[in-house]
Amino acid sequence: MRKGTTALLMVLRLAGIVQIVLGLIIWLGHNKGLVPIHSIIGSLFVLDLWILGVVALFELPSRGLALFTLLWGGLVLWFGMAQTTIAPGSGHWLVRVLHLIVGLAAMGFGESLASRVRRVGNPKPDAP
């Protein structure tokens, strides 16, 4: 499962970096036409996070972080889809900042889950 977890993590990282770059371009108003691409990649990001969460549910002895990450992925998806309708107007910048923070947190949860799954799948040998 170590290779699969590594692949999921690499996809999560790549999608996360692309999301940050696209989000900043959109935020700065350079190309609003990128919003659908940002949405599609964001959905793939969440799907990858959920798959990683399900893998962690089966691999880790403690399931708390995996369950929380699955729920957080739902929050990321909902927030991304609903953010244009939340606080439109001059206060919308705060929604954008929160959207970025929620996404960055999701990246951190994915990193943490992958690290734990890889550790469990490759335990250190006992000292003699």
Q: 127 pLDDT exceeds 80?
A: no
Identify residue 121 by its one-letter amino acid code: G
For CA atoms 11, 92, 78, 32, the dihedral sign is: negative
Q: How far apart are CA 21 and CA 15, in angstroms?
A: 10
Question: pLDDT tens for residues 61-71?
Answer: 999 999 999 99
pLDDT computed for residue 19 by the predictor: 96
Question: pLDDT tens for residues 30-45?
Answer: 888 999 999 999 999 9
Q: 126 pLDDT exceeds 70?
A: no
* Helix residue ranges per DSSP H, 83-121: 92-121
* pLDDT, mean of residues 89-118: 92
Q: 3 pLDDT exceeds 60?
A: yes
Q: 128 pLDDT exceeds 60?
A: no
User: Contact at 8 Å (CB) between 8 and 73?
Assistant: no
Report pTM.
0.87
